Amino acid sequence: MLRVRFAPSPTGFLHIGSARTFIFNWLYARRNGGTMILRIDDTDIERNTQASLDSIVEGLNWLDLGWDEQYRQSERLALHKQVAEAIFQKGWAYHDFTPAETEEGEKPRLGAAWLFHAGMRELSHEESDRRAAAGEPFVLRYRVPRDIVEDVRFTDGVYGEQSKSTADIEDFALLRSDGTPTYHLASCADDADLRISHIIRGQDHLTNTFKHILIFRAAEVAAPEFAHLPLLVAPDGTKLSKRRHGPVVSVTTYRDAGFLPDAFINFLCLLGWSPKDDREKMSRQDLIDAFSFEGINKSNAVVNFTETDPFDPKAVWLNSQYIHAMPLEELAQKLLPVVCASGFSVDPSKMLAIAPLIQERIKLLGDVVTVADFFLVDELPGYDTAELIPQKGDLATALKVLERAREILAKTEFNHQSLEEALRAEAGRLGIKAGQMFQPIRVAVCGRKNAPPLFETMAVLGRDTCLRRIDQAIQKLQS
């Protein structure tokens, strides 16, 4: 039975790199009929917060991929200690009574000294037990073999054959001096207990894997398969972090800007993975069908954001592709809450009428507020009167156009075809180009030069609004 897990530690919001790890695990599970497990790795009591846990679950829910089983490490401490005890009993670990380093005094510990604290490995059972019983604090450390040097090996699903000499692996901690398990111990104990078959995680764990293999060996359980994912990095090449890069690394930032979950998932999948053909836009099912470790790259992938542009252009483009392909009813329905959240009020039927006019003009759902604002307000915000004057025209032309337009709009049937025919004919009569005719009207009605097609726009706006705005424009020109 194939079982994979996503194991975030609740010490911050859901990071886009974490989201990608979740997605790849999920894809692998779904591709192979396996089980997806969410495990909250909350062994670091100091840094865990409920807010962070909530934010992670919120982010995962938005992705809407789901999972099959859920666990929390802090509820499994007894298991961790039991595994630690067993490892200790078999002689694979020892008590280290060396006091914790007092921060700052961190010296580079040259030579082999960094591997372990002198004297602690050789403590006799009696003395070790006596000091522990006397209440002297200790760290339980893994006893990495020192008399014989061995290469620890495994085959990574992405990186291939890996090996590291035990001479380069330090005696790492299993239990802290307060008795709580470290990440390495808790993670391995749970992976074994939950019968995880494949560990798919960030490449930052690649070298930790040797320690984990040592733990599995001491616990006398078979190690799972491993596959490490290349990291997501910032344009400067450094690992994405909240501290350095701000909210652009949070999944909720993408959600709030109006990314569609499918587009976001699609984008993340294309970072460090390729279907090996030219496909870019891929549905969940496409991704499931195409996913394999073969397609995963080995080098880190840059998420291309800047100070002025928080989102990778490719993510934005992909999102626009999803918006363009979306049925209008669905688009209108998704736009409605976005519009309301910005303080506008619009009824669903009007939103549905607006949707086709902006579908190809928005890349993110949030763009609706800037692209369709003039549909949503009664009074147009102020605009530069000079924009009413068409190319190669003057104030008089603009006035003439608007006055004629008012007359025509007052009597013409208010639909695309009639409006266009009437206004084009009028342009001919005035001896000006259609574009010169339409610009003053567009600016008067929309409040700006760049807007959706004029006639459809006016039809949605309605006769009263259009006439009122044209009157206002005429007044502006006359004053």
Query: Which tokens belong to 30?
Result: 């779904």
Instruction: Provide, rounded to whole angstroms, the least separation between the CB of residue 159 and RNA.
Output: 5
In whole angstroms, the minimum distance from the beta carbon of 476 to RNA comes to 19
Applying CB under 7 A, among 37, 173, 219, 353 the residue interacting with RNA is 173
Residue 206 in contact with RNA, rule: CB under 7 A: yes
Tell me if residue 242 is catalytic.
yes
Q: Kindly name the residue from 81, 90, 107, 242 that is annotated as catalytic.
A: 242
- Residues 16, 254: contact at Cβ < 8 Å? yes
Mask for 230-249, x = binds RNA (CB under 7 A): xx-x-x-xxx----------
Find the binder of RNA among 69, 85, 168, 384 (CB under 7 A).
168
Selected from 72, 153, 276, 429, the binder of RNA by CB under 7 A is 276
- The torsion angles phi and psi of 291, rounded to 5 degrees, stand at -70, 135
**What is the bridge-based pairing of β-strands 93-96 and 139-142?**
antiparallel
Q: How near is the Cβ of 140 to RNA at its closest, in Å? A: 9
Residues 49-88 that bind RNA (CB under 7 A): none
458-468 b/e with 16+ CB inside 10 Å = b?
A: bbbbebebbeb
**12 is a contact residue toward RNA (CB under 7 A):** no
**Count of CB atoms situated within 10 Å of the CB of 445:** 24
Q: CB of residue 169 vs RNA: minimum separation in angstroms?
A: 8
- Burial class from Cβ neighbours inside 10 Å (0-12, 13-18, 19+) for residue 184 reads middle
57 vs 9, 22, 269, CA distance in Å?
12, 12, 20
Residue 429: closest CA among 459, 404, 454, 451:
404
> From the list 125, 130, 146, 298, which residue makes contact with RNA (rule: CB under 7 A)?
298
| Out of 2, 58, 86, 170, the residue judged to bind RNA by CB under 7 A | 170
Q: Please, are residues 175 and 81 in contact by the beta-carbon 8 Å criterion?
A: yes
Among 90, 324, 392, 429, binds RNA (CB under 7 A): 324
- Residue from 67, 159, 254, 374 in contact with RNA (CB under 7 A): 159
Name residue 316's amino acid: V
- Least distance CB 418 / RNA (angstroms): 13
203 interacts with RNA by CB under 7 A: yes
Amino acid type, 322:
Y
Q: Are the CB atoms for 436 and 390 separated by under 8 Å?
A: yes
Contact 303, 232 (CB under 8 A): yes
Minimum distance from residue 478 beta carbon to RNA (Å): 24
| Binding of residue 453 to RNA (CB under 7 A) | yes
Q: What is the 3-state secondary structure (H, E, C) of 158-170?
A: CCEEEEEEHHHCC
Under the binding rule (CB under 7 A), the answer on residue 292 touching RNA is no
Query: x/- contact string, 430-449, with RNA (CB under 7 A)?
Result: ----xx--xx--x------x
15-44 positions binding RNA, by CB under 7 A: 41, 43-44
- Does position 295 bind RNA by CB under 7 A? yes
Distance CA 189, CA 196 (A): 10
Q: 439 in helix, strand or coil?
A: helix
Catalytic residues: 242
